[in-house]
């Protein structure tokens, strides 16, 4: 027969594992950086076009890169929390490099190709079978300044979160 204290202890430790996701510093830093970047895109889009575009809150492309902000905040938060010499930081850093390279490489060029293809379809005669096709998404990737801005935002977010954590522990 199981002792009731063992069952209660097991049950409370199981629920604390689920709650610990809300105190996971790297995860919180990454999600916060993503959210801030998306809100910045929303406002920079308004500034450029003088109209509100709710798609900017969830869409890819634009200034700053939310993907770059997310992975940079994640990598730095992992390094600050667990040390920069461990395998967790190495994995996060490699992931960051791949995401940032992809944003300025493959995704940027795919977006530029979509612009050209959309222009070609737009110029087709009305009777052409492709004339009514749905335009391709053009805002897919990022320019290097957009990726760098996202990276800087990720660094600021992780450092600010780390400082808040340190202040909270000392209080």
Distance CA 10, CA 15 (A): 9
Contacts of 73 (CB under 8 A, 6+ apart): 26, 29, 30, 32, 33, 153, 154, 155, 157, 158, 161
The tens-digit pLDDT sequence of the chain (171 residues) is 555 544 444 455 556 677 778 889 999 999 999 999 998 988 887 777 777 776 666 666 677 899 999 999 999 999 999 999 999 999 999 999 999 988 887 766 777 777 788 788 787 777 887 777 777 666 666 788 999 999 999 999 999 999 998 888 877
Distance CA 97, CA 156 (A): 18
Q: Which class for 151: exposed (0-12), middle (13-18), buried (19 or more C-beta within 10 A)?
A: buried
The domain containing residue 133 runs over which residues? 26-170
Query: What's the structural domain count of the chain?
Result: 1
127 in a domain, yes or no? yes
* Stated pTM of the model: 0.73
17 in a domain, yes or no? no
């Amino acid at each position: 027969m199981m002792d009731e204290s063992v069952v209660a202890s097991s049950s409370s430790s199981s629920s604390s594992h689920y709650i610990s996701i809300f105190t996971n510093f790297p995860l919180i830093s990454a999600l916060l950086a993503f959210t801030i970047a998306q809100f910045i895109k929303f406002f920079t889009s308004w500034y450029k076009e003088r109209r509100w575009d709710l798609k900017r809150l969830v869409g890819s492309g634009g200034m700053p890169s939310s993907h770059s902000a997310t992975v940079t905040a994640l990598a730095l938060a992992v390094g600050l929390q667990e040390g920069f010499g461990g395998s967790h930081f190495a994995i996060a850093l490699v992931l960051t490099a791949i995401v940032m390279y992809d944003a300025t490489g493959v995704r940027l060029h795919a977006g530029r190709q979509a612009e050209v293809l959309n222009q070609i379809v737009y110029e087709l005669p009305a009777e052409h079978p492709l004339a009514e096709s749905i335009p391709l998404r053009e805002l897919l990737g990022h320019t290097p300044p957009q990726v760098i801005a996202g990276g800087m935002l990720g660094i600021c977010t992780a450092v600010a979160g780390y400082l808040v954590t340190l202040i909270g522990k000392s209080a």
